[in-house]
Structure formats: C-alpha cells, structure tokens
C-alpha cells in the first residue's frame, strides 16, 4: 500500500467557487498521492469510525456528510478532507465526485438510517420515502457518480453498509427492512454486472450496533425508547467493530472479494433473538 498523503486538506464542497475548485483539483494530485477512500455518512457512528480506521490504515479519506461542523473536526483529526454532501441530492453527489477527481480506491456507502417503528398498516409514507431516499437512492447516487474513478484505480472497492435487516423481516420494521433488502439486492446485482471490471463489490451487514444516534433518530429523539433497544444486552457491537470489518475487507488481496460479511454481537443469534440479562 502506498504511503498516506502528507498535506491534509479540509474543504466544504458547497462553498468553493469555480476558480477555487480548479486550484483545489490541481493541488489534490499531490495531496492524495496514497490510496484514497470516500466515506459517506461520516459525521458520526459507523461512518466516523470507518474514516478513522481507514486513515490509520494509510488511506486519505474524504469525509462526506451533511453536517459540516462534525466532518470538519473529523477531517482535521485524521488529516483528511471534509466534504459537505447530501447523498439524496444528485447534484451534491456529483460535486463530491468532481472534488475527488479521476481516481478513487475505496467507496464506503454508509449514509443511512431508520425512521419510525410503526406497522405497515399505519406507517407514515413519508418516513418510508425518507428511508429509501437515503439508504437506497443515496447508495445508488454515490456509486454511479464515483464508479468511473473507482474503475480507474485498477482495484476499486465498494463497501455498502447494509444490515441483517436486509435478510429478514420483523414487526414494525417494514420500511427499514425493505430499504436494506434493496441495498443488498443492489450490491449483488452490481457485482454481477461488473464482474469483468477491476472492482470488488462488498456488503457488511451488522446486527445490533450501539451508536450515539441511530436509535434517537429512529424514535424521533425519544431517549427512553432508544435506550430500551439495548436494555439488558451485554456488549452490543460498537461502531469500531464494523469499521474494523470494513478495513479488513478493503485490505484483502485484489483477487479476493468478500461478497457479504455478517457481523453480530455474540449475544445476538438472529435479528429477533437477543439474550438479555435481567
């Protein structure tokens, strides 16, 4: 693996003028001399952990997220680049691709989320739409925009962060499981379609991961409901566990494709089967 770049750069994609952008692109050739990675949803949780782990493995990381302040701090910490990007917006993702340039080694499609836990009969269609926008179309947008740069690297790796929810169904999770099923099928289809290209297409499907925001977002800020998800569960996964799985996948030899890596805490036998202590 090449040595990491020595000149960190932190910018906000939306705030650069055309002239500034051109100057940045000229400079980026020198800045990103080593292997490069884009991590979406990098402002917290699995995304932030993955950015840190990949940086530690020698990658220059583009930290992409809507929340500028958080990714600027992260980029400064890991000597990467902060790019404000909304993966549900095609133009925003195109801007990200423009800033990354003609070559990219790794794309981690991590941006996602769950909203609500209502049964199908009474679910809010807007919540379903939001889940498909970020989990499915967001992954599609980033993949389409960055695919040429990944192919140009000669060994591009796409890692989609799915979920065990993409392989099962459970009451109250219709919208989220449907979105994650779509992510899983997209990953498998892309692998079939690009088998003749120098690309590896992979999915990490975590089980119960305790992060600072996933439950709060799902339950609209209700701390009690968010905490109840982990009640009695000894040692659920944490973001670093998933990030290390991503690092392992992308650092395999070029001929090795990890189609699917399912990772769960020891106390979780299935999505619906979790040992809880009194």
Report the alpha-carbon distance of residue 115 to residue 174 in Å, rounded: 11
Residue 19 makes CB contacts below 8 A (sequence gap 6+) with none
The number of CA neighbours under 13 Å toward the Cβ of 218 is 21
Report the alpha-carbon distance of residue 25 to residue 100 in Å, rounded: 8
Residue 143 makes CB contacts below 8 A (sequence gap 6+) with 107, 109, 158, 190
The owner of tokens 């909203």 is: 115
56 conformational bin, left if phi > 0, alpha if psi -120 to 50, beta if neither:
alpha
Residue 125 makes CB contacts below 8 A (sequence gap 6+) with none
CA distances from 187 to 41, 108, 156, 182, 251 (A): 18, 12, 14, 9, 19
Phi and psi at residue 135, in whole multiples of 5°? -75, -40
Q: Known catalytic residue: 62?
A: no
Active-site choice (59, 62, 170, 176) = 176
Residue 179: both structure tokens together: 């979105």
Pairing of strands 36-40, 199-206: unpaired
Contact, 47 vs 69, CB < 8 A?
A: no
CA distances from 69 to 42, 72, 76, 119 (A): 11, 5, 11, 36
Cite the active site residues: 176
């Amino acid at each position: 693996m090449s040595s990491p770049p020595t000149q960190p750069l932190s910018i906000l994609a939306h705030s650069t003028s055309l002239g500034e952008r051109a100057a940045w692109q000229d400079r980026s050739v020198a800045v990103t001399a080593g292997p490069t990675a884009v991590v979406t949803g990098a402002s917290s949780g699995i995304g932030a952990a993955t950015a840190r782990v990949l940086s530690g493995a020698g990658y220059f990381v583009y930290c992409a997220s809507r929340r500028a302040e958080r990714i600027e701090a992260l980029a400064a910490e890991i000597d990467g680049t902060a790019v404000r990007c909304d993966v549900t917006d095609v133009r925003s993702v195109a801007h990200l691709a423009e800033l990354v340039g003609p070559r990219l080694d790794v794309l981690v499609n991590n941006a996602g989320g769950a909203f609500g836990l209502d049964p199908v009969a009474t679910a809010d269609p807007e919540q379903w739409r939001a889940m498909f926008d970020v989990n499915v179309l967001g992954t599609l947008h980033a993949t389409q925009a960055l695919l040429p740069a990944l192919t140009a690297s000669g060994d591009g790796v796409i890692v989609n962060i799915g979920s065990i929810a993409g392989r099962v169904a459970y009451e109250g999770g219709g919208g989220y499981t449907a979105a994650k099923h779509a992510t899983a099928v997209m990953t498998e289809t892309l692998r079939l379609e690009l088998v003749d290209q120098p690309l590896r297409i992979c999915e990490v499907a975590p089980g119960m991961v305790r992060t600072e925001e996933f439950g709060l977002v799902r339950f609209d800020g209700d701390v009690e409901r968010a905490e109840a998800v982990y009640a009695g569960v000894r040692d659920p996964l944490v973001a670093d566990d998933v990030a290390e799985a991503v690092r392992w996948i992308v650092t395999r030899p070029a001929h090795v494709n990890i189609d699917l890596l399912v990772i769960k805490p020891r106390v979780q036998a299935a999505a619906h089967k979790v040992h809880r202590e009194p």
